Amino acid sequence: MTAPAIRRQRVGRSVTSRAADSIVRRLISLNGWAAIVILAAIFLFLAVNARRALEEVGFWVMSLGTEWYPTIPTPRFGFLPLLSGSVLVTATALVLCVPVSLAAAIFISEFAGGRVKEVTKSIIEFMAAIPSVVYGLIGIAVVVPWVRATFDTDSGLTALSGAIVLAFMIAPTIVSISEDALHAVPNSLRQGSLALGNTRWETTYKVVVPSASSGILAAVMLGMGRAIGETMAVLMLTGNAAVIPDSLFDSVRTITGTIAAEMGNVVQGGLHQSVLFTLGLVLFSITFLINLVADLVLEKQRRRWQR
Amino acid sequence: MTESREQNVTGVFELENVSVTYGSEVAIAGVSMHIPPRAVTALIGPSGCGKSTLLRCLNRMNDEIGSAKVRGRITLDGADIYAKEMDPVELRTRVGQVFQKPNPFPMTIYDNVAYGPRTQGTRRRSELDEVVERSLKRAALWGEVKKDLKKHAFELSGGQQQRLCIARALATQPEVVLMDEPASSLDPISTQQVEDTIAELKEYVTIVIVTHNMQQAARISDLTAFMLRESMEEPAQLVEVGETRVMFTNPGDKRTEAYITGRFG
Amino acid sequence: MSRRIRQARLTQTLAVAITGAAAAFIVTAALFLLGYILVRGLPAMSWEFISQPPRGQMKAGGILPSIIGTLALTSGTAAFALPVGVAAGIYLSEYAPRGRMTRIIRLAISNMAGVPSIVYGLFGLALFVILFSFGTSILAGALTLACLTLPVIITATEEALRQIPSDLRQASLALGATRWRTIYRVVLPAAAPGIVTGSILGLARAAGETAPILFTAAVYYKRQLPTSIFDDVMVLPYHIYILATQVTGRPDDIIWGTALILVGGVTAGSVIAATWRSLQRKKVRW
C-alpha cells in the first residue's frame, strides 16, 4: 500500500501555489478595469487640455459661434460651421446608406441560403477592413470627378462627395449589426407566422422586422456614431471650407477634419490647441452618448430573446 | 464490513444532516449516511432529486457553481471537508470526479492522464510514464491505446474517452472517485466496458456513482441510497440507504419499492 | 389560386428581388474597391518599390521606410494591447461576477470601440506625447493604437473563451487544479485560435489607421529607418494621405502602389487568420 506515502507529500498544498493563484486573480481583475480607466482618462485629458479655451473663450461662445477663423489676429472660434458640416455629411450618408443596408441585411438574414450568406457576409467584412485613408483615396479618384461632372461644381470636393464615400464606409456596420438583430429573432416566431398562411416576405415585415426593430435602430445609431467620428475620408473629400453650408454641393469642414488638419500647426499649450481639444471633447461626448444609447438598446434586446 | 477492517483503509465519507441551499431555495435537506471504503455506493432517484448536487458536495465542486451553500457536516477519513483549514483544491486531488459526458482535454491521451500529476508538481518523465501506464491499466484502456499515447484524445470513441477520463481521475491517486451518470451518454457496449472498469476499480478506491439506471445500480453497486423529492416545493431527501442486494429484493420503504419497480420516475 | 395569394406571391418575389439587389449592390461595391485598388496598384509593384526609400520629393523610388514604420508601430501595438486585452477578456469570461459592475465594464468596452479614432489621437497627444514626453514616436503611436485596439482584443478573447465548454473547466478543477492553472493549461490553449484570429483582425485594423497617429507617431518624410522606439516614423496610411493631398503633381503609381501594399497586408493578415481558425475548428469540435 503506497497510499500513505503519497498522501504525506500531498497534504498542505504549498503556500506559494495558493498565493500565486490569488495574485494572478488580482492582476487579471485589474486588467478587467482597463476599459473604464481608459474611457475615463480620455475624458479627463480632453477636459484638462480644453480648460484654457473654456475659460478664455467660453463654452457657449464657441458652441454658438458662426465663424471659424482660428489664425487671424483676433481669432474666432465658432463651432457651428464645423458642427453643421459634420451633421450635413453624416445625415446625407445615413440617408444614402440606411435603406440599402437594411434591405441587404434582410436579404442576408431571411432569404439568402447558406453559401450565398457566408460569401456575402465575408465580403462585407472585407469592406469594413479597408483603411479609411484608402476610402478617401478612392473617393478622390472616382467619386470627386463624378460629382464634379454630374453636378457641375467647381472642384467636386463637396459635402456630397464625402457623404457618398462615408455611406459605403458605414454600410458594413449597419448591415452586420442589423443582420445580427434579425438573426436573433427566434425561429418559432417565423414558423408561427408562416403557419398562419403568410409568405416569407409577409412574415419578414409583419413579424421579424418589428421584433428586431430595436436592434436595427441600434445598428443605425452605431453607423451614425461611426460616420460622425470618421476623419480621413471626409478630410480628403469635403473641401474643408469652414463655413455654414447652404447645400450638399458646398464644400464643408467637419469637426474631425478640423482637428486633423489644424492640430499639426498649432503652438503647444496655445489657445488654438486648447480649442481643438474642446472640439474633441464635444465630439467624444456626442459619440459617447450615441454609443451608450445604442449599446443599452442592444443589451435590452439580447435579454429579451434570452428568456 | 467491520469497523476494524476500515481502520487501515482510507476513503470513508460520513455525512451528518447535510443540506444544500441555492439562494433561498433548499435543494437537499437532512441527508445522513455512511459511505464505506473500497466499495461502490450508488445514488439513485428520479431526475431532479438532488443526486448530482449531493455528489458535488463531496469534492466541493458546488463551491465553483454560483450560490450553493452546504450545511451540516461531511467528513472524509474523519476530517471535516468544509472546515476552514481544508483547501478545496487539495481535497479534489483526493476525491476525483468523472462526469456525465466524456470531457477529455483537447490534448494527447498521455497529457490528459498526466494532467493531474503534473498539477501536483510531478515533472520526472519516468514517474509520469509509470502513473500514466498504471492509471490507463486500471481504467482498462491500456491495451487499446498503449501504442498511440501521443494521439489526440478526441480521436478516441465515446466509450474510450470516458475510460480515459476515469484514468485521468485515477492518476492523482485519489481515495474516492465520484461518478455522475458516467455511462448515460454511451452506447450499450461502451456502457458494459465502463461498468466492468468500475467493478475492478473498487479494489483501489471508494466509488460513489449517481445513476438513474436501476439495472446499472443493481449490477455494480454494493450500497444503494435512494433519494426523492416529493414535490417541487419540498427539498429532496434521502429515503433509505442499504445494501443493494437487500434494497432491490426487499426495500424498506414503499416509495423505494414504487421507484425500483418502475411505478414512477 | 385566390387573388390574395397571387398578390402575396408577387410581392414576395419582388421583395426578394429588391433586397437581393441591395445586397448585390454592396457586394459589387466591395469587389469594385478590391479590383480598383489591384488594377491601379499593380503597375507600381517592383522589388525596388518595397526595398528602397522614396526619391525625388517622394515622386519616385520606393516606400521601404513606411513599410518598416507600419510594421514597427503594429508590433508595438500588439506588445501593449495583447497582454492587457487578453487578461481583460479572461477576467470577463472566467472571473467576473455577474452583476452591475461587470455590466458597466462591458458597456465601457463596447463604448470604447465606438470612440472616434481622431479622439484617440488627441488622447495620445495629451497623455503620451506631451505629459509623458515621449514626443512624436513609435512608442507614443503604439500606445495610442493599443488603446484603440483594446476593445477588439478583449471581445475576441472573451468570445473565444466562452466557447470552451464548462465541462473542461470542471474536469480540471475536479483534478485539484487551481482556477488559474485550469485557465492557463486547459482553457487558454483550447481558445487560442479564436484569440489569435480576433487579435490579428484588430491589429490589422490598427495598422490601417491614420487619425490616431497623425500627431503621435507619423512623420512626413524621413529617409532613415527608425532605430529606437523614440523615433518618429513614416507609415503607410499617412504616406498615402500625404501623397494624395499634399504633394503637387500626384504620383499616381506610387500612391496606388502604397494603397495596394497596405490593403494587401491588412487583408492577407485577416484572411490567413480567419482560415487558420476555421481549420482549427474543423480539427476540434466540442
Contact A272, A278 (CB under 8 A): no
Rounded-to-integer distance, Cα B43 and Cα B244, Å: 11
Searching chain C, which residue's CA lies closest to the CA of residue B61?
C174
Residue type, C197: T
Q: Say whether C178 and A127 touch across the interface (CB within 8 A).
A: no
Enumerate the domain spans of chain C. 47-283
Rounded-to-integer distance, Cα C102 and Cα A108, Å: 33
The pLDDT-based confidence of A307 (bands split at 50, 70, 90) is low
Strand partners, B40: B207
Q: What is the pLDDT of residue B2?
A: 39
The DSSP element (H or E) to which C60 belongs, if any, is strand C60-61
Which of C98, C175, C180 to mutate against chain B (most B CBs within 10 Å)? C175
Q: Which three cell numbers stand for residue A107?
A: 436579404
Residue type, A28: I
Tally of CA atoms within 13 A in the half-sphere of B229 that contains its CB: 18
Rounded-to-integer distance, Cα A54 and Cα A274, Å: 8
Residue-wise pLDDT for C186-228, tens only, equals 999 999 988 998 899 899 999 999 999 999 998 888 888 888 8
Q: At what angle do helices B188-201 and B125-138 cross, to 10 degrees?
A: 110
Q: What is the pLDDT of residue B253?
A: 86
Residue-wise pLDDT for A215-258, tens only, equals 999 999 999 999 999 999 999 999 888 888 888 999 999 999 99
CA B29 to centroid of chain Cα atoms: 20
Strand partners, B227: B238
**DSSP track, A236-296:** HHSB---S--SSTTS-B--HHHHHHHHGGGSPTTSHHHHHHHHHHHHHHHHHHHHHHHHHH
Q: What is the mean pLDDT of residues A196-203?
A: 89
Q: What is the largest CA-CA distance in chain A?
A: 97
From residue B185, how far is each of A28, B40, B102, B160 by CA, in Å?
A: 37, 20, 8, 12
Tally of CA atoms within 13 A in the half-sphere of A208 that contains its CB: 30
Searching chain B, which residue's CA lies closest to the CA of residue C94?
B64
Mean pLDDT over all residues of chain B? Answer: 88
Contact C216, C121 (CB under 8 A): yes
Which CATH class name applies to A64-306?
mainly alpha
List, in order, residues 6 or more apart from A30 with CB less than 8 Å away.
Answer: none
Which 126-185 residues of chain C touch chain B by CB within 8 A? Answer: 165, 167-168, 170-178, 181, 185
Contact A90, A255 (CB under 8 A): no
Judged against a pLDDT cut of 50, whether residue A3 lies above it is answered with no
**8-state DSSP, B212:** S
Residue type, C232: D
Strand partners, B34: B14
List, in order, residues 6 or more apart from C80 with CB less than 8 Å away.
Answer: C142, C143, C146
Tally of CA atoms within 13 A in the half-sphere of A130 that contains its CB: 31
Q: Which residues of A touch B10 (CB under 8 A)?
A: 3, 7
Q: What is the pLDDT of residue B3?
A: 42
Judged against a pLDDT cut of 50, whether residue A132 lies above it is answered with yes
Q: Report the relative pairing of strands A68-69 and A76-77 from DSSP bridges.
A: antiparallel
> How many CB atoms neighbour CB C212 within 10 A?
27
B47 touches chain A (CB under 8 A): no
List, in order, residues 6 or more apart from C87 with CB less than 8 Å away.
Answer: A27, A28, A31, A32
Residue-wise pLDDT for A60-106, tens only, equals 999 999 999 998 888 999 999 999 999 999 999 999 999 999 999 99
Rounded-to-integer distance, Cα B234 and Cα B29, Å: 9
List, in order, residues 6 or more apart from A232 with CB less than 8 Å away.
Answer: A131, A132, A133, A135, A136, A260, C210, C211, C237, C241
Judged against a pLDDT cut of 80, whether residue C283 lies above it is answered with no
ipTM score for this prediction = 0.91
B27: closest CA of chain A, how far (Å): 23
Contact C29, A168 (CB under 8 A): yes
Q: What is the mean pLDDT of residues B152-156?
A: 92
Strand partners, B178: B97, B208
Which of A122, A201, A263, A296 to mutate against chain C (most C CBs within 10 Å)? A201
Its pTM stands at 0.88
The pLDDT-based confidence of C284 (bands split at 50, 70, 90) is low
For C19, the closest of A104, A129, A134 (CB atoms) is A104
Q: Report the relative pairing of strands B206-210 and B223-228 from DSSP bridges.
A: unpaired
CATH 1.10.3720.10 fits C47-283, yes or no: yes
Q: What is the pLDDT of residue B8?
A: 57
Residue-wise pLDDT for B204-243, tens only, equals 899 999 998 888 898 999 999 999 888 878 888 898 888 9
Rounded-to-integer distance, Cα C215 and Cα B43, Å: 69
A58: closest CA of chain C, how far (Å): 20
Instruction: Among A21-35, B35-49, C8-22, C240-254, name the one with the lowest average pLDDT.
Output: C240-254
Q: What is the pLDDT of residue A77?
A: 93
Nearest Cα neighbor of C182 from C172, C191, C190, C174 is: C172
Q: What is the pLDDT of residue C107?
A: 93
Searching chain A, which residue's CA lies closest to the CA of residue B119?
A17
Mean pLDDT over all residues of chain C? Answer: 91
Question: Phi and psi at residue B72, in whole multiples of 5°?
Answer: 95, -165
Rounded-to-integer distance, Cα B251 and Cα B253, Å: 6
Alpha helices in chain A (DSSP H): 3-10, 15-32, 34-56, 59-64, 80-106, 114-129, 132-138, 144-151, 159-183, 187-195, 200-203, 209-211, 213-229, 232-237, 255-262, 271-306
Rounded-to-integer distance, Cα B178 and Cα B169, Å: 9
B111: closest CA of chain C, how far (Å): 11
Judged against a pLDDT cut of 50, whether residue B6 lies above it is answered with no
Contact C79, C68 (CB under 8 A): no
Residue-wise pLDDT for A6-40, tens only, equals 443 444 566 777 788 889 999 999 999 999 999 99
Instruction: Say how many residues make up chain C.
Output: 286
Q: What is the pLDDT of residue A12?
A: 53
List, in order, residues 6 or more apart from B112 with CB less than 8 Å away.
Answer: B104, B105, B153, B164, B167, B168
> How many CB atoms neighbour CB B176 within 10 A?
24
Contact B14, B8 (CB under 8 A): no
Residue-wise pLDDT for C143-189, tens only, equals 999 999 999 999 999 999 999 999 999 999 999 998 999 999 999 99
> In this prediction, what percent of chain A has a pLDDT beyond 90?
67
Mean pLDDT over all residues of chain A? Answer: 90
Q: Which residues of A133-151 are buried (b: 16+ CB within 10 A; e: fewer)?
A: bbbbbbbbbbbbeebbeee
Contact B146, B124 (CB under 8 A): no
Question: Phi and psi at residue C208, in whole multiples of 5°?
Answer: -90, -5
Strand partners, B75: B14, B80
Tally of CA atoms within 13 A in the half-sphere of C194 that contains its CB: 22
The pLDDT-based confidence of B18 (bands split at 50, 70, 90) is very high
**DSSP track, B1-57:** --HHHHTT----EEEEEEEEEETTEEEEEEEEEEE-TTSEEEEE-STTSSHHHHHHH
Q: Say whether C266 and A130 touch across the interface (CB within 8 A).
A: yes
Rounded-to-integer distance, Cα C284 and Cα C31, Å: 33
Rounded-to-integer distance, Cα B93 and Cα B168, Å: 11
**8-state DSSP, B236:** B
Contact C12, A201 (CB under 8 A): yes
Q: Say whether A10 and B10 touch across the interface (CB within 8 A).
A: no
Q: Which residues of B touch C186 (CB under 8 A)?
A: 105, 115
> In this prediction, what percent of chain B has a pLDDT beyond 90?
51
Q: What is the pLDDT of residue B58?
A: 93
Q: What is the pLDDT of residue A10?
A: 45
